[in-house]
Amino acid sequence: MPANADETEQLINNAEKAGADFIEVRLDKFTELGHLAEVASHGKTPKIATLKLASQCGKFTGTESQQREILLSAAKAGFAYVDVDLQGTNPKKFAEEVKSNGTKVIASFHNFTTTPAISELNRILDQEISLGGDVCKIVTTANCLEDNLTLLSFVAFASKRANVVCFGMKEAGRVSRLLSPLFGGFFTFASLESRAETAPGQLTIDEMKAAYSLLEV
């Protein structure tokens, strides 16, 4: 999670060299808000602006109002996507504000304790579609390997309804992180290097590419 534009641009360079299809810029610790346009235009890869409150297991210590002000600034600065938390206050209204700038919305939901049943995952997806998500992101916590089966089964059908990003966090969820795109997931997340993860259980981009190569996909 970079603190300034120079750090962010270097990470963008590294991500592009690694062959990332999208780059999520975590703004939790970013202090140079006047440089958001420079960050958005740096490189050629589409960028996602994400800013997570402490209550969402993020590192941003400000209020929800401040969080949204920064994310709207990112939309106006030219980020391709903005992450809108489904569990925030009136998320549909905020999503409409983001879209009014020509920015796409990633409707985002996280469960930090468990993986719900498929019926509940479908209910969440319905809400994200109703919100207007161009991408519907549902991230749960995998407490056992069987949770991966739930998530991959869900993705296989949900991907026919929307651009879905869905996998489980923690070590037990690595299977779904890796395989979800093979079951129809729009994309998945990877860290640039080990010990630089922004969520538990992330594999590095090199590890994921090596695994896909072994699977010949």
Whole-angstrom distance, CA of residue 203 vs CA of residue 196:
10
pTM for the predicted model, two decimal places: 0.93
Residue 172 lies in domain: 111-217
- Active-site residue, 110 included: yes
Q: Which positions ≥6 away from 84 have C-beta within 8 Å?
A: 71, 91, 94, 95, 98, 105, 106, 107, 108, 131, 133
**Which residues, given as ranges, of the chain have pLDDT below 70?**
196-197
pLDDT of residue 156: 98
pLDDT value for 197: 67
pLDDT for the residue numbered 180? 97
Q: What does the pLDDT look like over 28-45, one tens digit per residue? A: 999 999 999 999 999 999
Active-site residue, 137 included = yes
Give the per-residue pLDDT at 4. 95
Nearest-CA neighbor of 171 among 210, 144, 211?
144
pLDDT computed for residue 196 by the predictor: 67
Q: What Cα–Cα distance (Å) separates residue 142 from each residue in 73, 178, 182?
A: 34, 13, 19
Q: Do 116 and 88 share a structural domain?
A: no
Active-site residue (options: 104, 137, 160, 170): 137
In this structure, are 214 and 157 located in the same domain? Answer: yes
CATH of the domain at 24: 3.20.20.70
Q: How far apart are CA 106 and CA 153, in angstroms?
A: 21
Considering the candidates 42, 52, 104, 110, report the single residue annotated as catalytic.
Answer: 110
Q: What is the pLDDT of residue 193?
A: 80
Of 52, 86, 107, which closes a domain? 107
Q: How many domains does the chain have?
A: 2
User: Mapping DSSP to helix (H, G, I), strand (E, B) and coil, where does residue 167 land?
Assistant: strand
